[in-house]
């Protein structure tokens, strides 16, 4: 069953509203989020969970379109 997202800030909405037309845009956004993830304090579960949901959403989109290199989802 899906989760209900109760709090969204503008950055969260922008991720879901933006139309990624090509794999390059998706790749760039995923790489940017991976860099941000390196700096996150994983002890702050809400922040880490929000980051993980964003990056996995983009990874799912990328993997659905890509026929060559794909990403593994963040666990």
State residue 9's pLDDT score: 58
Would you state the structure tokens that stand for residue 65, as one six-digit string?
A: 């379109």
Domain boundaries, the chain: 24-75
Q: Alpha-carbon distance 19 to 15, whole Å?
A: 9
Would you state the structure tokens that stand for residue 68, as one six-digit string?
A: 């060559």
Q: Write down the pTM of the prediction.
A: 0.71
Predicted confidence pLDDT, tens digits, the chain (75 residues): 555 555 555 565 565 556 667 888 899 999 999 999 999 887 888 999 999 999 999 999 999 988 878 899 998
Q: Alpha-carbon distance 57 to 73, whole Å?
A: 9
Q: Which residue in this structure is represented by tokens 């998706």? A: 26
Q: Alpha-carbon distance 62 to 65, whole Å?
A: 5
């Amino acid at each position: 069953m899906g989760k209900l997202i109760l709090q969204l800030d503008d950055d969260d909405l922008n991720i879901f509203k933006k139309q990624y037309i090509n794999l390059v845009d998706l790749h760039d956004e995923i790489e940017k989020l991976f860099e941000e993830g390196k700096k996150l304090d994983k002890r702050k579960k809400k922040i880490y969970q929000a980051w993980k949901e964003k990056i996995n959403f983009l990874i799912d989109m990328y993997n659905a379109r890509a026929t060559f290199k794909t990403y593994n989802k963040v666990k």
